[in-house]
Amino acid sequence: MSPSVEDPALEDSAATGSGGRSWSSDGLIVGVVVVGFVVPRLLWGLPWQLLAVLSLGCVATLRPRFALGGLLLAVALHSSIARNGLTPSPTRPVEAEQVRLIEDPRPGRSGWRALADVDGQTVVITARLPAAGRLRTASVGDRVRLSGTLRGSSPQTDWAIGRRVVGQLSITSIDDVEPAGGVVGAANLLRDAIRDGAESVPFDRRVLFTGLVFGDDRGQGVIVADNFRAAGLGHLLAVSGQNVVFVLILAAPLLTRLRSAPVRVGVAFAILAGFGFLTRFEASVTRAIVMAGLALVAHAVGRPSSAPAVLPPAVLGLLLLDPLLAWSLAFQLSVAATLGLIVLAPRLSSVLPGPEALRLAIAATLSAQLFVSPLLFATFGQVSVVAVPANLLAAPAAAGAMMWGLGAGTIAGIGPPWLAEALHLPTRAMLWWIDGVAAWAARVDVGQFTPWHLGVLVGGVSLWRWLLPRRWFGAVLVVVAVLSPLITPRQLPAGNHVLAPGVSVARSSFGHDVLVIGPEATGEDLVQAVRQARLGRIDLVIATSGARPVGVLVALVQERFEVVDTWAPLGHHVPGARVVEPLSGSVGSLRVEENSDQEVVIYES
């Protein structure tokens, strides 16, 4: 996630430098926010009675620091209650029961899946054909009458904890789908109208369009999604806090004409709430809406407030309402990026050379990227080296596509087809540019930005800031950290390597590569693993199974990379493959054989 601007209050801050803020005050902001995330994750296992007594005791002192401690303990108390309440749903058959969808259905490895409320508990529902056909057309808030088997489970992953998932319901049939009503139903209709109005846009780019405008990235192609992640543009595939900025910019002509401050704030709140329903109140959008709301209230009462002032109360308030947000990666990334924009972006923009607009854009993108890097390393093990130039090139078009999509896209959704096609000519141009930037950046042959590089970069910036007589040394460290991944592309050594489940590669000492794809592989992991291995040209792809899903995976590799030859067993469904059974032969200096356990063994002859 590398947003260029995340919040309305940050634009002025980035433009005026550090605004006289001290490192100690910004350090306090970072400390409060970080502790706000750490406390619910570390202390939730303590007895809630102890947490309640400690929290009340701190608040009763009426001292600001103790009161803050009491608030943090209250977050831990609520976290303890929420985590202990995540008991597995009873395992039972479900016969023609009505459930409410709380997440849009999306394709998965085992059919279509979604989150649903079943008897007040959140469960994952999955459906294969033919039931999947009816589930895929449903939306958030719809009530689905279905049959199947519900199996309870305790949430083990951060995603499951953050979403309160306590079971899985395997659907055998769907009898009826009742559309959502009220505000949620209206939001669904608007989403459908915007999507239908973009029919003239090619499918892959139409999915990119809906992701930019209201966060619906369902149906995004594996290769396109991997390109965006590799380019550091993954945040464009879904809505983020910066979308709230664009909404307020669109609403500015209306809001500035309202002379009454209460009316102006009320209309702004209504617009923000409507956008929240349109985007399903994604974690990053919710954070930005709360921050914008606090800033609006402060402005209405005559005490204008900036992002540094509203971020801690917004984060702590949201964690107090829903402490399991501390387990949400999207919320963590959003807050980390905002901290980068608050703490580092103004200072970087004041020392970078060049025109002001370029300095602000570079500083904002680099600051957000640096602050989210620890989370990206911990979760994905990598950070894009080309994220800054890719964002500088793609972000303006992304902003234009989002704002144009909300305005002209809505008109296109309710107008005749010829008008919709005309209105989306600019959309197609902007999406073509964004998609092209992602594809180009994903193919740049660079090394990996590692935690070592991040440490050197942070150390260089620190030396530059604190050791004034030795600034040249800090500058050298910064240059080394930034440039070394660019000039030292990672090369896979000779030997056998397991890249991902069901994906392995053998490289000879002469550079010949044989890629083996098994039925355990998934498209997303496969493309990402091969890209990260920097194989370039693949001499041979071996499909150990001839099943159609494996054929789809091989087709992805053939589309994304240069493949010389493909082998598959008899009766296969692998495009462009030669039947080789047993899977044995030679490729350059590599000898390929299939052993008695039907495993492919590769060694150098």
25, with CB counted inside 10 A (0-12, 13-18, 19+), is exposed
pLDDT given at position 461: 63
* Residue 9 confidence (pLDDT) above 50: no
Model confidence band, residue 382 (pLDDT cutoffs 50, 70, 90): confident
Give the pLDDT confidence of 183-203 residue by residue, as tens digits. Answer: 999 999 999 999 999 999 998
Match 């979308």 to its residue by tokens: 243
Q: Which residues pair with 342 in a beta bridge?
A: none
pLDDT given at position 129: 80
pLDDT given at position 426: 94
pLDDT given at position 16: 39
Model confidence band, residue 20 (pLDDT cutoffs 50, 70, 90): low
* Residue 601 confidence (pLDDT) above 70: yes
pLDDT given at position 571: 86
* Residue 92 confidence (pLDDT) above 70: yes
Arithmetic mean of pLDDT, 53-64? 77
Cα torsion through 473, 350, 299, 7, rounded to 10: -70
Match 């049959």 to its residue by tokens: 147
Give the pLDDT confidence of 403-450 residue by residue, as tens digits. Answer: 999 889 999 999 899 999 999 999 999 999 999 999 998 888 776 666
Arithmetic mean of pLDDT, 49-63? 78
What distance in Å separates the CA atoms of residue 85 and residue 77, rounded to the nearest whole number?
A: 12
Give the pLDDT confidence of 108-165 residue by residue, as tens digits. Answer: 777 899 999 999 999 999 998 888 888 988 999 999 999 999 999 999 899 999 999 9
Separation of first and last alpha carbons in the chain: 45
pLDDT given at position 484: 60
Percent of the chain predicted with pLDDT > 70: 88
DSSP assignment string, 210-235 = HHHHH---TT--HHHHHHHHHTT-GG
Name the nearest CA neighbour of 577 among 600, 598, 554: 554
**Three-class HEC string of 78-117:** HHHHHHHCCCCCCCEEEEEEEEEECCCCEEECCEEEEEEE
Residue that wins the pLDDT comparison between 242 and 198: 198
DSSP assignment string, 23-89 = HHHHHHHHHHHHHHHHHHHHHTTS-HHHHHHHHHHHHHT--HHHHHHHHHHHHHHHHHHHHHT-PPP
* Residue 3 confidence (pLDDT) above 70: no
Model confidence band, residue 566 (pLDDT cutoffs 50, 70, 90): very high
pLDDT given at position 232: 86
Residue that wins the pLDDT comparison between 478 and 167: 167
Average pLDDT of the chain? 84
- Parallel/antiparallel/unpaired status of strands 92-101 and 143-152: antiparallel
pLDDT given at position 411: 92
For the entire predicted model, the pTM comes to 0.85
pLDDT given at position 197: 92
Arithmetic mean of pLDDT, 349-363? 81
* Residue 452 confidence (pLDDT) above 70: no
Report the chain's C-alpha Rg in angstroms. 26
Percent of the chain predicted with pLDDT > 90: 37
What distance in Å separates the CA atoms of residue 315 and residue 459, rounded to the nearest whole number?
A: 28
pLDDT given at position 423: 94
Arithmetic mean of pLDDT, 202-207? 90
Residue that wins the pLDDT comparison between 124 and 366: 124
Are the beta carbons of 307 and 13 closer than 8 angstroms?
Answer: yes
Fold of 495-604: Metallo-beta-lactamase; Chain A (3.60.15)
pLDDT given at position 487: 54
| Sign of the dihedral defined by the CA atoms of residues 205, 211, 217, 221, in that order | positive
Which of 293-307, 363-377, 561-575 is predicted least confidently? Answer: 293-307
State both tokens at 447: 């090394």
Name the nearest CA neighbour of 124 among 84, 177, 79, 163: 163
Model confidence band, residue 347 (pLDDT cutoffs 50, 70, 90): confident
pLDDT given at position 126: 93
Match 């459908």 to its residue by tokens: 192
What distance in Å separates the CA atoms of residue 373 and residue 547, rounded to the nearest whole number?
A: 39
**286-309: b or e for each residue (b if 16 or more CB lie within 10 Å)?**
bbbbbbbbbbbebeeeeeebbbbb
DSSP assignment string, 417-457 = HHHHHHHTHHHHHHHHHHHHHHHHHHT-----B-HHHHHHH
Give the pLDDT confidence of 402-416 residue by residue, as tens digits. Answer: 999 988 999 999 989
CA 446 to chain centre: 23
Name the nearest CA neighbour of 457 among 388, 392, 380, 531: 388
What distance in Å separates the CA atoms of residue 480 and residue 487, rounded to the nearest whole number?
A: 10
What distance in Å separates the CA atoms of residue 575 and residue 585, rounded to the nearest whole number?
A: 20
pLDDT given at position 448: 66
Give the pLDDT confidence of 511-543 residue by residue, as tens digits. Answer: 788 899 988 898 888 988 888 888 778 989 999
Main-chain dihedrals φ then ψ at residue 328, nearest 5 degrees: -85, 115
What distance in Å separates the CA atoms of residue 19 and residue 12, rounded to the nearest whole number?
A: 9
Each domain of the chain, given as residue ranges in start order, spans: 207-442, 451-487, 495-604
Are the beta carbons of 576 and 550 closer than 8 angstroms?
Answer: no
What distance in Å separates the CA atoms of residue 343 and residue 355, rounded to the nearest whole number?
A: 21
Cα distances (angstroms) measured from residue 441 to each of 240, 328, 369, 396, 462:
21, 28, 16, 16, 29
What distance in Å separates the CA atoms of residue 343 and residue 308, rounded to the nearest whole number?
A: 8
Name the nearest CA neighbour of 244 among 37, 85, 9: 9
pLDDT given at position 482: 59
304: left (phi over 0), alpha (psi -120 to 50) or beta: beta
Arithmetic mean of pLDDT, 82-100? 92
Arithmetic mean of pLDDT, 6-17? 43
Give the pLDDT confidence of 160-177 residue by residue, as tens digits. Answer: 999 999 999 999 999 999
Are the beta carbons of 265 and 248 closer than 8 angstroms?
Answer: no
pLDDT given at position 259: 83
pLDDT given at position 11: 42
pLDDT given at position 465: 59
Name the nearest CA neighbour of 498 among 369, 600, 362: 600
